[in-house]
Amino acid sequence: MARPPAGPARSACLGILLAALLPGPVAAQVPPPPAASASLPAVQLEGHYEATTGQGDAASAGTVTRRLIANRPVQRPAEVLEFVPGLVVTQHSGDGKANQYFLRGFNLDHGTDFATFVDGMPVNAVSHAHGQGYTDLNFLIPELVRRIDYRKGPYAAEDGDFASAGSARIVLLDRLDHGFASVTLGPDGYRRLLAADSVEGPGGHWLAAAEGFMTDGPWTVPQRLRKSSLLLRHRGGTPGLGWRLGLMHYDNRWTATDQIPARAVAEGRLGRFDSLDPSSGGRTERFSLNAGLDGETADGDWQLSAYWIRSRLNLWSNFTYALDAPTAGDQFEQAERRQTLGGEARRSWAFTAGGRAQRLSLGGQIRHDRLDPVGLYRTVERQRLRTTAESELDQTIGGLHAELATVWSPRFRSVLGLRHDRAQFDVARSSVPENTGRARDQQTSPKLALIWGPWAGLADSELFLNAGRGFHSNDARGTVARIDPVSGDPVERVPGLVASRGTEIGWRGQPLAGQQTALVLWTLRLDSELVYIGDAGTTEALGASRRRGLELNHHGRLEGWTILGTPGRDWLIDLDLAWSRARFERAPAGADHVPGAANRVASFGLGWAPEGGPWQAQFQLRHIGPRDLTEDGRQRSASTTLGSLRLGWQAHRALRLGLDVFNLFDRKASDIDYVYTSRLPGEPAAGVEGRHFHPVEPRSLRLTATLRWD
């Protein structure tokens, strides 16, 4: 194939983009041009991760298939994100609260810096009562997930707010091959009922599902969690035009056992599963409507989508016990009522220019959140004593993005991307009058991906270079604040958008038959780090930080092997290893460690799933390494390694039985650790600084019976 022309305009544009990107890293990922597929030898890796050689734009991006999601045991709905290689999901409170997430040297708290979408709707909540980017996935029904498209790093032009560490798009099923009903029973009052079916109806296909769930958990104070979820989806269309409609409703109420001080457990004053405030907990509700249109044209395709989400949350917590109010206690409530309205439009064109296959994609997204109110209150046994801060606010963010994917030769292609975002913040009312006002911010984010390969003689390998700029938004209240509502001291306002810059170089290939390996070296810099403050239950914007790391991922079938007398093609293997280092920039010597950042994460999965056989098994091992708990690095958490097991038996064409075992080795470990100051009755008035932890749940078994029908 002819070499690309090296005209001055092309060279100048590429030079400017490289100059803008490489000094402060970042990257891009785009579907390659359809015309490009004819020029590249595509090799599809069969199995549970979709990774087609010659198609992806980064070694750290991929798709999780329904097969893996259905086979692996999941203890909580948000753990579907653990299918993203290198991502770990934990919990430090009741199961109605958003989970904790760890990825690429981040303690992402409840979701900041990792963008999550379900059915095209953003899950990360801006200016949230508990924490910026709050990602509550408890409304999700894992059995209805069709696939998860994931990326790591700020490299895709379509990814905007919260996508510095990456993004995950969870795509739901439009139809079921069979209707089904299942019941799951477990210890500590675990009961779950789920029913789903799909039918052809007026105008297309309809899918409906309902879930009811309750559990007390292993806690001394029963969790008394009661959850219900409903889903209704419609998909229809004509040749060249499709449409979809979706409705979801979710309601949850629970009592929480939050983290407790390790000193009290060591002294015998508390058991590992005890609580210091039996009235902590929460209630939440979420209702959403979404719709979409998509079509094909002679030269490409287009998509339109819109959504409306109404949600509420009341969260009662007590992390310091009797430090601020020795008599009444330190319980506080974080509450909000929210409506979110947004949409997206995309158009892409496939064409040939200069003898080279090209694909141009243009798109725009807009999102508006109204919170009325969002507040922080002092409480006793969930009863409000006084208002610490209460606000009414609006936040709007809109973005335009463009990507151009070009196949320069059979062994080289590129993706150039550009994104521009504008955000407006309006705090119209506040219980602290000085903390009202308006602010705005904007950012332009260039993206770049360069891909060499594939080389069939070198294990179908490819080499990727990605760079790009991303951002996360800050809480609207922080962009206009003048006074700290607790202390009354003056505070500095924070910028509306905080930039991140990342680069990575990656290799992906198939050195073994039926298996794919990826190796990625990456860096990421944030202009401002959001760190969770355990004794306040909020996040605080600190200084700039830099991360770097190495990832190794290996997935596939054990072709050519014989294991336990069965052919290797019936066995699936997953191995994900990640090492990282996170440090504050311009911090005093010995005080530059980022609290909560895990330096290593590993997972190993081995599944047995013979085609057409009645039995199936999956073993999973997950490890998260020590985390610095203080900026000086002197206090660190222990590592946590947990195993799980799933056994399945197709007893009859219409009946399937399954057994899940969590914390298989019954490890006494922590889901989360913090270091801060708290006070128990009888301790000094100034409190005691020390480690606080939330234990992992002990070994538990869940038995599921599923009845299906045609």
For residue 30, pLDDT over 90 is answered with no
pLDDT at 569: 85
Tokens of 502: 């990342």
**Is 160:115 a contact under the CB 8 Å cutoff?**
yes
What are 118-168's pLDDT values in tens digits? 999 999 999 999 989 999 999 999 999 999 999 999 999 999 999 999 999
- State yes or no: cis peptide before 614, omega within 30 of 0: no
End-to-end CA distance of the chain: 52
Under the banding of pLDDT at 50, 70 and 90, the label for residue 41 is: very low
List the one residue out of 157, 162, 159 whose CA is nearest residue 348. Answer: 157
Tell me the two tokens of residue 135: 């990602």
Q: Is residue 53 very low, low, confident or very high in pLDDT (cuts 50, 70, 90)?
A: low
pLDDT in tens, 181-200: 999 999 999 999 999 999 99
**Rounded distance, CA 583 to CA 543, Å?**
10
**Which of these, 465, 529, 472, lies nearest to 503 by C-alpha position?**
465
- Residue 167 CA to residue 123 CA, distance in Å, equals 11
Q: Which ranges constitute the DSSP H helices of 469-565?
A: 476-480
pTM for this structure?
A: 0.91
pLDDT digit string, tens, across residues 262-276: 999 999 999 999 999
CA–CA–CA angle 464, 465, 468 (5° rounding): 135
The pLDDT mean for the chain works out to 90
Q: Which residues contact 42 (CB under 8 A, 6 or more apart)?
A: 52, 53, 54, 55
Selected residue with higher pLDDT from 562 and 595: 595
Q: Tens digit of pLDDT for each residue in 580-610? A: 999 999 888 789 999 999 999 999 999 998 8
Share of the chain above pLDDT 90, in %: 79
> Which residue from 205, 209, 208, 200 is spatially nearest to 242, judged by alpha carbons?
205
Q: In this predicted model, what pLDDT tens digit does every residue of 207-225 receive, in sequence order?
A: 999 999 999 999 999 999 9
Averaged pLDDT for residues 668-677:
94
455-484 mean pLDDT: 91
Confidence band, pLDDT 50/70/90 cuts, at residue 299: very high
Could you tell me how many residues make up the chain?
A: 710
Neighbours of 499 (CB within 10 A): 21
Tokens of 83: 């299918």
Are 694 and 92 in contact, with CB atoms under 8 Å apart?
yes
**Is the confidence at residue 296, as pLDDT, over 50?**
yes
Q: What is the mean pLDDT of residues 646-673?
A: 96
Task: Let me know if 522 is exposed, middle or buried by CB neighbors in 10 A (0-12, 13-18, 19+).
Answer: buried
